[in-house]
Amino acid sequence: MAILEAMRQATSRGWSNIVFESDSKVVVDAIQANHHGIAELSSIILSIKLLLQCNSNFEIKFTKRQENMAAHTLARAAISWSSRMFFHYVPRCIEPFIINEMS
């Protein structure tokens, strides 16, 4: 659901050339597979695939959790938030990871 929402936000803001990363190999494999399932997850995966077809500059990649601590830390923090948040700056909880990844 996070990938789908991120893709919707990127599309609505007119962003392109984006690589979406996930530490869930199951999800990335399902998105990249040619077959469709019947579970609830399948409808989310299908929506992601449709957005990928409409946005040829979007890409989905698997990234090990250890290699993407910024996203993992932000996801853990988001669990405690009572509502959806949008940031116009780098949140303090992931600032050290971003700085580390940039150097």
Q: 40 and 20 in one domain?
A: yes
Q: 75 and 102 in one domain?
A: yes
Q: 31 and 79 in one domain?
A: no
Q: 54 and 14 in one domain?
A: yes
User: Domain total for the chain?
Assistant: 2
What is the CATH number for 11?
A: 3.30.420.10
Nearest CA among 75, 80, 63 for reference residue 20: 63
pLDDT in tens, 45-82: 999 999 999 999 999 999 887 667 777 777 777 778 88
Lowest mean pLDDT among 8-22, 55-69, 82-96: 82-96
Can you tell me the distance from the alpha carbon of 79 to that of 57, in angstroms, rounded to the nearest whole number? 30
